[in-house]
Every structure is written in structure tokens, then in C-alpha cells.
Amino acid sequence: MITPSAYSLAGRTALITGGGTGIGLAIAKCLAACGAKVVLSGRREQPLQTAASEIGELASIQVMDVNDTAAAPALAATLREKHGPIGILVNNAGINMKKPFTETTEEEMLGVFQTNVMGGLALARALHPQLKESGDGSVVFISSMAALMGIPLVAAYSVAKSAVTGAVRAIAVEWGTDGIRVNAVAPGWIDTTMSRRAFEGDPTRKEKILTRTALRCLGDTEDVGWSVAYLCSPAAKFVTGTVIPVDGGASMGF
Ligand code: NDP
């Protein structure tokens, strides 16, 4: 029987990295709207405080740097002590870099990789016991169109987001028997500070993006938020190891 509660996240606790701004904040709002307690994390305390007060009593904050992967086990212990087991991990924190590949240094490649990939993997590993204990653990990575198609000037970012796809598949098959589902959402072009920076002084790029997007507009951050809420909910209990594009049709057309 289909129950009306299949999208409910009541009683669940979610950690959302980069939860104080942009897409991460929208994800937190959508998860909270479905009843989850949400822990918003990021390096800067002020945006986290502002975001948590917008969401209200279901929200709390955790200042942290995902690049500090050695700190992940201690952080997981702190979160458990404060909030009980974390059953949902949303690896949303990410950075982009717009530069020709020939000018991108190895150090820059590694920096982008560290934040977009290694940070989230360290958290997933450290939270594995809690995700398992929660009974219906869910990990969602935020990927990108750059993992699905060739986009100029973002090679470091493409490499990192493509690695996320491999990580999702590999971890999903290992953790299925632990009752943990692992998925990703690949947002198309969403109206945020990050995407506005990428369009800056490049109207041709923006025009190209809009003309190849079937719905002819940028997405809203909540469009990504609701897809993550779905993936974390019992409605998606048979969905794992997949990457869902939320892109207005940008990745399927010509
Ligand atoms: P924002 O720049 O608004 O958000 C990035 C968030 O990540 C910030 O809250 C930032 O907080 C946090 N963050 C960055 N580095 C770290 C770090 N080292 N440790 C902890 N937190 C960190 O970008 P968006 O909301 O646009 O992007 C969110 C995600 O969506 C990213 O993974 C991005 O790649 C992806 N994405 C975005 C698209 C778009 O169109 N905007 C399209 C496709 C994917 P703080 O600086 O305080 O640490």
C-alpha cells in the first residue's frame, strides 16, 4: 500500500556540508520541511547562524572544514554526542575553478579534488557506523553537469565531479548490505553565487547554456533540495548507486 508518509523524514538527522549557503541551504530547508533535524556545516560561522535561524528549531550548526579529513572521526563522535546518530549525509560542499586546462596547476587540481571528493569521502567513512545504526542510512553527493558532459575551462572541477560518480557506485555496492543507500544529484545550471561567478563577463557562455537547456531557464536551488529530500526518504528505498540529473533537460538534448 502507498502511504502518504513515504516522503517523511521525521525522526531523521542530516548533516549537510556547505549547508549555510546556496544549494546546501536549500537542501537543508527541504529536508527540514520533510521533518528532518538538519546540521548545517561550513567554515564560516556567520552564514551558518543566519541560515539556521531561517530554518528554525530543527536546525543547528557545526563549523568545520571538509579539507581537514584527519578531523573527520572526531567530528563524527562530536555529532553523535550532540545529535544522536546521523542517518543522512549530504556531501554538498564544493568549489569550482574556471581556468584553461593548460594553465591549471597540479596543486589547483588537487585543491579542487580535496574539497569536492576527499572531504566527502572522509565524512562518509567516519559516519559509516552511525549511518548503519540509523537503519535507513542515506548518503547523497552533489555532482554536476561537468561529470556528464565536456565543459570548457573547468577541467579540475570535471575531474573531481566525475570521481564522485565512481565513488557513488563503488560505495553503494559495498554498503547495500548495511542498509545504506548512496546516490548523487547532478544539478544543471542553478542560479547561485557560484554559477553567477562562472557567467561573469561571459554572456556567450550563459546564452549557450540557456539554449541547450530544454526548459530555457536556470534552476532554483530548491529544485535540487527536493530531489535530495526524495533520495533520503523511504520513497527512494530501492534507489541506490545512481546519479539523478536535475538540469531542466540540459544533459539529454542537443
Ligand atoms: P556556494 O559557493 O554557495 O556553496 C558552497 C558551500 O560549500 C558554502 O556554504 C561553503 O561554505 C562550503 N564550503 C566550501 N569549501 C568548504 C570546505 N573546505 N569545508 C566546508 N565547507 C566548505 O555554491 P553552490 O551552492 O552553488 O554549490 C553547492 C554544490 O553544488 C557544490 O558542490 C557545487 O559544485 C554544486 N553545483 C553547483 C551548481 C550551480 O549551478 N551553482 C551546478 C552544479 C553543481 P564556507 O565557505 O563557509 O566553508
| Per-residue pLDDT tens digits for 135-171 | 999 999 999 999 999 999 999 999 999 999 999 999 9
Whether the model pTM is above 0.75: yes
Share of the chain above pLDDT 90, in %: 91
pLDDT of 4 reads 66
Quick one: which atom of ligand 1 is closest to the CA of 219? 40
Is residue 78 within 8 A of residue 61, CB to CB? The reply is no
How remote is the CA of residue 91 from the centroid of ligand 1, in Å? 10
DSSP letter, residue 186: E
Render pLDDT for 69-91 as a digit per residue (tens, 0 to 9): 999 999 999 999 999 999 999 99
Average pLDDT, the chain: 96
Query: How far is the CA of 11 from the CAs of 1, 32, 71, 97, in angstroms?
Result: 22, 11, 27, 38
In tens, the pLDDT along 8-64 reads: 999 999 999 999 999 999 999 999 999 999 999 999 999 999 999 999 999 999 999
The pLDDT, as a whole number, for residue 24 is: 98
Average pLDDT over residues 92-99: 96
Q: Which pLDDT band holds residue 199 (cuts at 50, 70, 90)?
A: confident
DSSP letter (8 states) at residue 180: E
C-alpha cell at 212: 541547450
* Phi, then psi, of 182 in degrees rounded to 5: -130, 120
Percent of the chain, pLDDT > 70? 98
* 105, pLDDT greater than 70: yes
Residue at grid coordinates 533537460? 249
Q: Which residues are catalytic?
A: 157
Q: For residue 31, give the C-alpha cell.
A: 529536508
> Ligand 1 centroid vs 249 CA: distance in angstroms?
22
For the cut 70, the answer to whether the pLDDT of residue 201 exceeds it is yes
Please state, in angstroms and rounded to a whole number, the distance separating the CA atoms of residues 142 and 156: 16
Residue nearest atom 40 in ligand 1 by C-alpha distance: 190
Write down the pLDDT at residue 108. Answer: 98
The CA distance from 51 to 40, in Å, is: 8
Distance separating alpha carbons of residues 188 and 253, to the nearest angstrom: 13
Side chain identity, residue 217: C
Ligand 1, CB within 6 Å, residue ranges = 17-18, 20-24, 42-44, 47, 65-67, 92-96, 115, 142, 144, 187, 189-190, 192-195
pLDDT (0 to 100) of residue 3: 61
Tell me the domains of the chain and their CATH numbers: 7-190+221-246 (3.40.50.720)
> What is the C-alpha to C-alpha distance for residues 29 and 7, in angstroms, rounded to an integer?
14
- Helix (H) / strand (E) element for 190: namely none
User: Distance between CA 224 and CA 187 in Å, rounded?
Assistant: 6
- Residue 113: its pLDDT value, please? 98
